[in-house]
A = this chain, B = another copy of it.
Amino acid sequence: MKRMTKQRRAIWEVFTENPRPLRVEEVLALAQAKTPTLGIATVYRNVRRFVDDGKLSEVALPEIGMLYERADIGHHHHFFCRRCGRLYDFPGCPLREDDLAPRGYAIEAHELFLYGVCAACREA
């Protein structure tokens, strides 16, 4: 990361101020509050860059698309509320990779997506 421009700083701040998976369009909207001239190509270039540098993780959600969140929050999974459309981080992991593989297969990583109704929507 050679130069810290105001655009790059604004994009990074969006991720620290919003600790959940964000879409590129959300990042653009939130960062434009700080740097109004910001263009979407710059957002794409910077999130890619942050991912390459290990500062952001990609969250590729079936049906929803690619989102990004800070990489330093540890292994966890995601829950998508079908009623309100919000995406939640669920801490922890119910899986042991050793138990998942048929003989001969080596599991190196996994992703688990949960769908349902969140606590807030169930109460409403």
A binding-site residues for B, Cβ under 8 Å? 58, 60-63, 79, 82, 88, 90, 94-95, 99-119, 122-123
Q: How far is the CA of A4 from the CA of B64 in the complex (A)?
A: 32
- CB contacts (< 8 Å) of A123 on chain B: these are 104
Complex CA gap A58/B62 in Å reads 10
Q: Is the CB of B79 within 8 A of A105?
A: yes
Q: Which of B109, B111, B116 contacts A116 (CB 8 A)?
A: B109
Docked CA distance A56–B30 (Å): 39
Q: Which residues of B contact A107 (CB under 8 A)?
A: 79, 114-116
Nearest first, the 10 A-B pairs at minimum CB distance are A60-B62, A104-B119, A108-B116, A109-B115, A107-B116, A106-B117, A106-B116, A111-B113, A110-B114, A112-B112
Are A115 and B108 touching (Cβ within 8 A)?
yes
For residue A79, which residue of chain B has the nearest CB?
B105
Q: Are A117 and B105 in contact (CB under 8 A)?
A: yes
Q: 9 A-B residue contacts at CB 8 Å? A: A61-B62, A90-B100, A104-B123, A105-B119, A106-B117, A109-B114, A110-B112, A110-B114, A111-B113
Cα separation A108 to B118 with both chains bound (whole Å): 11
